[in-house]
Amino acid sequence: MLLTTTLLFAATAGLLELHAKPLQDEILVGEPLKLQVTWRATKRVEVWPERLRLVVTGPGGYREVIEGEVRIEPVRLPTPVEPDSSLVTTMPILHRNYLRDKGSRRSALMFPAAGEYRIQVAYEETQAVSNPAVVHVVAPEGEEAEVFQALHGNAGAPYDERRAAALLSRHLRSRYLRMALLAQITNRLSGINSQEEVGQPLLNLSREERRAWEVREAQRALQELDSGEWGGWEEDALSLAIDAARVSGDSAKAQAIKRRRARTSGAESKE
């Protein structure tokens, strides 16, 4: 078995190249980070992006390793990786593998203190290791410090979706709550065509009145998406805006946003 594994590593070494890039150059302590990983191959190879190994090092000798299945958002190009193309995946990094150390006094945050952190990903099936990507972490101030305290407390509790959603009404533009706001807008857009979501008063509207309500809700979502600053979640916001424009009946705006998203994706993946 050991010989077989050794021969496999020898055959696949150098086959795959990984490039890691944070979509935010600077984040707040405890702020979610979106990491983009570009996969390139010298010949056709099939990969399983969720099997990446994540290694984060930081100030004061800090080191955190996440192995096994990791959360990977949808790819922009399908696997396998071909030599004349590349595969781009994105990885949201919320907190460290705290369940492994449940009960310990360590912070659950992946970026628990201000300073410079280096992030690498490795794909052990081909012995591929990415460049060390750098992200600068700074302490929150003012309103963001208030949101941080409400979300994570003094002990560095992990990100909680329900707690984040509850904070939105008072801190709509907090960088800590971008994922929660996108989830809220997604739920509203999903509810437009769901009778379970709209409630009895809307079910009693005429077809024309119901369509007018749908358009207003979609336009409201568009306004929120256009006015927000989304950081590493810019492409997610643009995808939602395309859906909202389509629901509102504005196909021209949907196409314009789609072109903008394509430019954003292209700029991100050029290294």
> Does the pLDDT value for residue 1 go beyond 90?
no
The whole-number pLDDT of residue 70 equals 77
The whole-number pLDDT of residue 266 equals 57
What is d(CA 46, CA 90) in angstroms, rounded to the nearest whole number? 18
Give the DSSP letter string of 113-155.
SSEEEEEEEEETTTTEE---EEEEEE---HHHHHHHHHHHTTT
Q: From the CA atom positions of the chain, what is the Rg in Å?
A: 21
Mean pLDDT for the stretch of residues 60-86: 82
**Average confidence score pLDDT of the chain:** 85
The whole-number pLDDT of residue 69 equals 73
Mean pLDDT for the stretch of residues 100-127: 84
Cis peptide before 80 (omega within 30 of 0): yes
Closest CA to 143 of 28, 33, 226: 28
Bridge-based pairing state of the strands 63-66 and 26-28? unpaired
Every domain of the chain and the residues it spans = 2-140, 175-269
Output the CATH code of domain 2-140.
2.60.40.10
Across 5-14, 97-106, 152-161, 234-243, which has the greatest mean pLDDT?
234-243
